[in-house]
């Protein structure tokens, strides 16, 4: 098969013809021209209109052939459309003013969901910037064609992009388990940008939002989505609880440093793990410690008791249970547990909202781990825009442009 035939089949040419293929220093240069006497499709309405004039020749980077770079050269025409006015013709292999052909965009974008951009650039003999441009074009297309009308439940969390407390706010669609939006920072302005871009109409359809008890997130959600039920993530609640238990154990270990320094040594996970996850040696040691009058034992009992909160199915009964547990915790004479109890009391409405809409950020945490894996395989990203681009591309489940031929 001739190279000209391969170009025609993979590009799906109807109004253009292959004039010649020339081998140059930069690879194969494919010269294309418009077939004579053709009415060409308008790039706005796709209706065929008469040709008005011709523009200067442009170049597009196409899919490499047997490892040889391929460049398309074509002088687009402008059509005189009665509906849209004067516009450039619709070019089957081009999207906007991008110098990368759509088939190459699809090919590079598909592989960058699996490999680091630098690796993909080496495989296909293109520069890193070409790969980035392809991913950006794919993300722009995907954001413009994704289905947003059935987003009812959001999960909001933050992820660290690099050391130095550099965070990104992540907004997930909990129904489809996909990333909707990512932005640098975790301040009020950050989350407010999402809601401004998302729009009031789509925000009004949101029924529930799950997040941790981070005050800037809470304030923005109540301001921008007042009709949505705000649910505090139970995994974050448990994390705060475990931190309180650890604080009690550390304080008591310091108090015992002189009299019995080895009593609580290497016992951190004894009091943090679920009882059914303990090994036999850990279970025996915990049983021994439970016979002693230790403060950490009281904290451990409080931790185990509150785990029964999410067993309830009726909000009223759950509230009665939480009130009783609050009294026990505030009278335990354990400051970390008392502080945790008061934190729950201040956010009680969002904690008990789980019994109205049982949302949690379990899927969010899983996607956050995937986001960290994406950053790890690229050895990090220098700019927040590139990081956001990669996350949306890999976690957003965005549709890719369609091409006539499938390049594997």
C-alpha distances (whole Å) from 101 to each of 90, 111, 123, 243 are 13, 16, 18, 53
> CA 17 to CA 72: how far, in whole Å?
12
Give the three-class secondary structure for 64.
strand
- In this model, does residue 1 exceed pLDDT 80? no
Give me the DSSP letters along 174-213: TTTTEEEEEEEB-SHHHHHHHHHHH-HHHHHT--EEEE-S
**Residue 53: count of CB within 10 angstroms of its CB:** 9
pTM of the model: 0.82
Helix axes 362-377, 384-395, angle to 10 degrees: 120
Q: Report the pLDDT value the prediction gives residue 408, as an integer from 0 to 100.
A: 56
**Which of 84, 59, 83 is closest to 70 using CA atoms?**
59
> CA 211 to CA 244: how far, in whole Å?
20
Q: Which residues pair with 189 in a beta bridge?
A: none
**Contact yes or no for 150/116 (Cβ under 8 A):** no
Q: Report the pLDDT value the prediction gives residue 360, as an integer from 0 to 100.
A: 86
pLDDT tens per residue, range 133-148: 999 999 999 999 998 8
Q: Which residues pair with 167 in a beta bridge?
A: 160
- In this model, does residue 26 exceed pLDDT 80? no
Give me the DSSP letters along 324-338: HHHHHHHTSS-HHHH
- In this model, does residue 17 exceed pLDDT 60? yes
> CA 34 to CA 295: how far, in whole Å?
84
**Contact yes or no for 310/354 (Cβ under 8 A):** yes
> CA 9 to CA 11: how far, in whole Å?
6
Token readout for 145 is 């064609």
> CA 88 to CA 40: how far, in whole Å?
9
pLDDT tens per residue, range 84-119: 889 898 888 887 788 888 888 888 999 999 999 999
> CA 267 to CA 272: how far, in whole Å?
9
Token readout for 186 is 């975790």
Q: Residue 225: pLDDT band by 50, 70, 90 thresholds?
A: very high
Q: Report the pLDDT value the prediction gives residue 321, as an integer from 0 to 100.
A: 95
**Residue 314: count of CB within 10 angstroms of its CB:** 9
**Side-chain half-sphere of 37: how many Cα atoms within 13 Å?**
0
> Which helix (H) or strand (E) element contains residue 307?
none
Burial of 303 (0-12, 13-18, 19+ CB in 10 A): buried
Q: Report the pLDDT value the prediction gives residue 266, as an integer from 0 to 100.
A: 86
- In this model, does residue 273 exceed pLDDT 60? yes
Helix axes 315-330, 335-346, angle to 10 degrees: 150
> CA 250 to CA 268: how far, in whole Å?
9
> CA 117 to CA 193: how far, in whole Å?
28
**Contact yes or no for 211/361 (Cβ under 8 A):** yes
What residues have CB less than 8 Å from 255, skipping those under 6 apart? none
**Residue 65: count of CB within 10 angstroms of its CB:** 16
Give the three-class secondary structure for 278.
coil
Compute the mean pLDDT over every residue in the chain, rounded to the nearest whole number: 89
Sign of the C-alpha dihedral computed for residues 387, 390, 396 and 398 taken in this order? positive
Q: Report the pLDDT value the prediction gives residue 206, as an integer from 0 to 100.
A: 94
pLDDT tens per residue, range 148-191: 888 999 999 998 877 767 889 999 999 999 999 999 988 999 99
Token readout for 113 is 């969901």
Q: Which residues pair with 53 in a beta bridge?
A: 78
Give me the DSSP letters along 120-156: HHHHHT--HHHHHHHHHHHHHHHHHHS--TT--EEEE
**Which of 240, 251, 239 is closest to 334 using CA atoms?**
251
- Choose the most confident range, by mean pLDDT, from 43-52, 85-94, 278-287, 324-333: 324-333
């Amino acid at each position: 098969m001739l190279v000209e035939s391969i170009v025609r089949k993979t590009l799906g040419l109807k109004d253009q013809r292959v004039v010649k293929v020339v081998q140059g220093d930069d690879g194969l240069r494919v010269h294309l021209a418009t077939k004579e006497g053709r009415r060409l499709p308008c790039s706005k309405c796709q209706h065929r209109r008469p040709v008005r004039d011709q523009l200067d020749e442009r170049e597009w980077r196409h899919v490499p052939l047997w490892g040889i770079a391929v460049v398309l050269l074509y002088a687009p025409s402008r059509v005189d459309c009665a509906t849209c006015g004067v516009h450039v013709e619709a070019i089957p292999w081009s999207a906007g003013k991008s110098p990368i052909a759509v088939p190459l965009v699809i090919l590079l974008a598909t592989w960058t969901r699996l490999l680091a951009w630098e690796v993909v650039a080496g495989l296909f003999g293109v520069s890193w910037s070409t790969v980035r441009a392809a991913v950006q074009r794919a993300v722009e297309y995907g954001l413009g064609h994704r289905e947003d009308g059935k987003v009812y439940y959001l999960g909001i969390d933050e992820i660290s992009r690099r050391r130095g407390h550099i965070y990104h706010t992540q907004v997930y669609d909990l129904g489809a388990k996909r990333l909707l939006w990512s932005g640098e920072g975790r301040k009020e302005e950050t989350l407010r940008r999402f809601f401004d871009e998302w729009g009031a109409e789509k925000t009004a359809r949101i029924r529930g939002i799950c997040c941790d008890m981070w005050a800037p997130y809470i304030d923005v959600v109540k301001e921008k989505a007042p009709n949505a039920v705000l649910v505090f993530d139970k995994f974050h609640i448990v994390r705060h609880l475990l931190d309180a238990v650890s604080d009690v154990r550390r304080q008591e270990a310091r108090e015992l440093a002189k009299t019995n320094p080895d009593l609580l040594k290497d016992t951190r996970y004894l009091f943090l793990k679920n009882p059914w996850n303990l090994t036999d040696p850990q279970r025996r040691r915990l049983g021994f410690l439970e016979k002693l009058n230790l403060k950490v034992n009281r904290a451990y009992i409080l931790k185990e008791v509150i785990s029964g909160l999410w067993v309830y199915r009726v909000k009223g009964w759950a509230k009665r249970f939480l009130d009783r547990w609050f009294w026990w915790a505030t009278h335990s004479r354990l400051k970390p547990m008392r502080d945790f109890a008061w934190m729950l009391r201040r956010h009680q409405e969002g904690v008990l909202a789980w019994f109205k809409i049982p949302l949690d950020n379990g899927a969010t945490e899983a996607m956050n781990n995937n986001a960290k894996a994406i950053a790890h395989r690229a050895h990090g990203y220098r700019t927040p825009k590139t990081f956001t681009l990669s996350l949306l591309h890999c976690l957003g489940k965005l549709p890719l442009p369609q091409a006539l031929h499938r390049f594997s």
